Amino acid sequence: MVSSFKILSILALALALAICVQGNLGEITCERLDQDTCAYAISSSGKRCLLEKRIKRTGEEGYTCRMSEIEADRLRNWIETDQCIKACGLDRKSLGISSDSLLESRFSQQLCSPQCHDNCPNVVDLYFNLAAAEGVFLPKLCEAQEGNIRRGLMADIKSSGFVAPETMQPEKYPYASGEIICERLDQDTCAYAISSSGKRCLLEKRIKRTGEEAYTCRTSEIEADRLKNWIEKDQCIKACGLDRKSLGISSDSLLESRFSQQLCSPQCYHSCPNVVDLYFNLAAAEGVFLPKLCEVHEGNVRRGLMADIKSSGYVAPGPDHPVKYTYAPGPAEPVTYTYAPAPTTPPYY
């Protein structure tokens, strides 16, 4: 009888140990992951893992994995599949967590592809929030990718018609007729000007045969429906951080933090409708909602300061088929977006 009791006790203890070990195997701890599984992984606590590199005293490179403070509320115990790493254009040895890759056209195209966007909710959720912290609405960015709206291809874009307060009137112009013709403007008045037809003026530079630089002004195809006969004031050039000798029309300056801060400042944003209208549309063509970008600047949420950001749980639309993982993930439940789609027209004052 005693021996039978001992055998039963041993079996019960063994069963308890087996259950305990099985439970532990199903839990992901970032610090235990290697360099081939760390990046894009989510721990059992729901916090994302970070891959870091260090240089040993011998000069050799070493990789370590640690748990970040970035949470993915609806995803846990997750190691990204090789299929999604390939489909989304990711790299297993990506260090840290950053939105910089969103600036690369090739990466954005792969991220927005059906293979990635519709089948890799962990990746989409991560970059949805990284983009949101920069004032970018990821679905809008993907629409821009699908429509082939890229930086510099602005010829057919029409202004949304942002107008100034009624008290603001354009200055007097150097032509008695009151009509501005871009081709007659000099290098000090061309940039940011709008002709009498409502089309924006472009400043261009060419090199003469003598080697000297020469500037010419021409009419673009970019229209500002509600603004005509406009030469930008010196006050706005200064307040918005502009340059009278800016060539062409491009959204590249939006990537510069200092310029964005000046553009979003009250002195510029509330007093220079022509400038705001121009950059509202340039930003929209890149999938960026300018008022949201300005909110980001006001809140001092900048690239790299992502420690306190929680995931919105954005899940790609359409059926989400389960796949096999190195570690069994928890269920991925669909939730609603935390950011509303951007309106097509800018605010009026």
Give the pLDDT confidence of 128-162 residue by residue, as tens digits. Answer: 888 887 777 888 788 776 665 444 333 333 333 33
Do 201 and 301 lie in a common domain?
Answer: no
Mean pLDDT of 20-35: 70
Region for residue 241 given its phi and psi (left: phi exceeds 0; alpha: psi -120 to 50; beta: otherwise): left
Under the banding of pLDDT at 50, 70 and 90, the label for residue 301 is very low
161 in any annotated domain? no
Both 295 and 281 in one domain: the answer is no
Residue 318: pLDDT above 60?
no
Is the pLDDT higher at 142 or at 36? 36
The confidence score (pLDDT) of residue 294 equals: 83
Q: Which of 166, 195, 137 is nearest to 341 (CA)?
A: 137
Q: What is the mean pLDDT of residues 197-217?
A: 85
- Domain shared by 220 and 271, yes or no: yes
pLDDT at 220 over 70: yes
Nearest to 151 by CA among 190, 111, 104, 207: 104
Residue 31 within a domain: yes
Whether residue 271 is predicted with pLDDT greater than 90 in this model: the reply is: no
Residue 270 is assigned to a structural domain of this protein: yes
What is the predicted pLDDT for the residue at 78?
Answer: 92
Burial 184-195 (b: 16+ CB within 10 A, else e): ebebebbbbbbb
Among residues 335, 136, 334, 345, which one has the least CA distance to residue 251? 136
Question: Per-residue confidence at 102, pLDDT binned at 50, 70, 90?
Answer: confident
The Cα 189–Cα 313 span in angstroms is 49
For residue 164, what are its two tokens? 């100034």
Same domain for 271 and 343, yes or no, is no
Q: How confident is the model at residue 313 (pLDDT cuts 50, 70, 90)?
A: very low
Contacts 24+ apart (CB under 8 A), 184-190: 184/217, 185/217, 185/231, 186/215, 186/217, 187/215, 187/217, 187/244, 187/245, 188/244, 189/231, 189/244, 190/215, 190/217
Cβ atoms of residues 142 and 110 within 8 Å: no
Answer yes or no: do 20 and 67 share one domain. Answer: yes
Q: What is the mean pLDDT of residues 311-324?
A: 38
Are residues 28 and 44 both part of a single domain?
Answer: yes
Q: Quick one: 103 and 235 in the same domain? A: no
Highest mean pLDDT among 164-173, 218-227, 300-309: 218-227
Residue 114 or 23, more confident:
114
Domain shared by 89 and 204, yes or no:
no
Mean pLDDT of 236-253: 86
Burial category of 335 from C-beta neighbours within 10 Å (exposed 0-12, middle 13-18, buried 19 and up): middle
Task: Tell me, yes or no, whether 251 and 199 share the same domain.
Answer: yes
What is the total count of domains within the chain? 2
Which of 179-188, 191-200, 233-242, 330-339 has the least mean pLDDT? 330-339
Which of 285, 319, 341 is the last residue in one of the domains?
Answer: 285
Token readout for 240 is 């918005």
| 1 lies in the same domain as 109 | yes
Q: Which of 131, 66, 126 is nearest to 90 (CA)?
A: 126
Between helices 121-133 and 105-112, what is the axis angle to 10°?
Answer: 130
Last residue of a domain, one of 264, 285, 306: 285
Instruction: Find the domain containing 58 and state its range.
Output: 1-149+291-349
Residue 322 above 60 pLDDT?
Answer: no
Mean pLDDT comparison of 5-9, 140-144, 238-242, highest-scoring range:
238-242
Q: How confident is the model over 258-266, as a mean pLDDT?
A: 88
